[in-house]
Amino acid sequence: MTEPVIALTQALIAEKSISPDDKQCQQILIDRLTKLGFTIEKMNFGRTKNFWAYHGQPSTTTLMFAGHTDVVPAGDESHWIYPPFSPTIDDQNRLYGRGAADMKSGVAAMICAAEDFIQQYPNHDGRVAFLITSDEEADASDGTIKVVDALIEQQQRVDYCIVGEPSSDQVLGDQIKNGRRGSLTANLVVHGIQGHVAYPNLADNPIHRFAPVLNELTHTVWDHGNQYFPQTTMQIANINGGTGAENVIPGDLKVQFNFRYSSELTDEMIKSRVTQILDKHQLNYTLNWRLSGKPFLTPKGTLTDAVVESIKELTNVDTHLSTTGGTSDGRFIAKMNCQVIEFGVLSQTIHKVNEHVNCQDVINLKAIYQRVLEKLLLNSD
Ligand SMILES: [Zn+2]
């Protein structure tokens, strides 16, 4: 007999839910949670489907699971061993399909963990909650960010949040994410005066103007990181200048650069230091910033301990806390002033052709989530 958590993962993979089109994924989850007696509130914005659900008394200790039902496109389907939206288990007990790892198995594991927990403790202390979105992989503008604002407005209490993103590296549970770096992009235009290369005295070359600034930006030590974060990095992503002609000094130079920054810095601090460098070199420029996410951090504490201990008890794996990788919806949830971590299956095949997950890992993940529920909610107030 197929384990319920594997059957649910398969049912979700069979829904071709490319962001933000949810197909029937959330309806499948809502049906399951309704049967369990959850209170469900759909929070759809634009074309994005989201819902928030809870079981237990409001204003008691709340553990919220967060996840997304959308997936990235499969690319050329002929490159897949099995069709990406026809979930298939091979003879190594690996389940293939788009979203198998990112993150339909994680969503299935949290739902099945809640089912078994509530069946065992129908009158449990505290509150089990879900925040599910169908727009994490695309621009994420109508998903978790808006639901979080609505929940803050409703003064919903959330103490702990587990985002079921694939956080593991080599074996299930070897790594959880207890924070993420911030991401800040600068779009800079350096203005000069266009002219003939033979008459440089009549022109002003923005590339020449920018050369020492480029040197200074790339050699600046922005910080030294801290216990949880590596040091802040800056990378030039795009640089464009020139008309294509060999005898024209360009009028403008466009430069785009991105910071991945630690909790030692704020976006305001970075902006002011960059502006100081530009002004010091007396550039004539226009500068626009785009902040995609502030850094967040959940220091070692109740939530990380409960997760690390549960992983150890059930799989005997030692866990490493990490803040590496790109941004995630954790950045929005951190606004609720709760402890938030990401913990899920291996990330090795996410967004790739032949994405897959080990079935035993999914079964173990569900058991670990259930153990965390017991540790954090039973005998809480
Ligand atoms: Zn994901």
Residues annotated catalytic, as ranges = 70, 136
Using one digit for the tens of pLDDT, what is the confidence trace for 11-31?
999 999 999 899 999 999 999
Calculate how far, in angstroms, residue 164's C-alpha sits from the geometric centre of ligand 1: 8
For the whole model, what pTM was predicted? Answer: 0.85
Proportion of the chain above pLDDT 90, given as a percent? 91
Calculate how far, in angstroms, residue 67's C-alpha sits from the geometric centre of ligand 1: 8
> Residue 380 has what pLDDT?
78
> Which alpha helices (DSSP H) does the chain contain, by range?
4-13, 25-36, 105-120, 144-153, 206-219, 267-280, 302-315, 330-333, 359-377
Measured CA to CA, the distance from residue 344 to residue 330 in angstroms comes to: 13
Indicate whether 381 pLDDT > 70.
Answer: no
> Residue 162 has what pLDDT?
98
Calculate how far, in angstroms, residue 26's C-alpha sits from the geometric centre of ligand 1: 16
Calculate how far, in angstroms, residue 219's C-alpha sits from the geometric centre of ligand 1: 34
Indicate whether 1 pLDDT > 80.
Answer: no
Using one digit for the tens of pLDDT, what is the confidence trace for 198-255?
999 999 999 999 999 999 999 999 999 998 899 999 999 999 999 999 999 999 999 9
Question: Based on the number of CB atoms within 10 Å of its own CB, is 365 exposed (0-12), middle (13-18) or buried (19 or more)?
Answer: buried
Contact 224, 264 (CB under 8 A): yes
Using one digit for the tens of pLDDT, what is the confidence trace for 75-94?
999 999 999 999 999 999 99
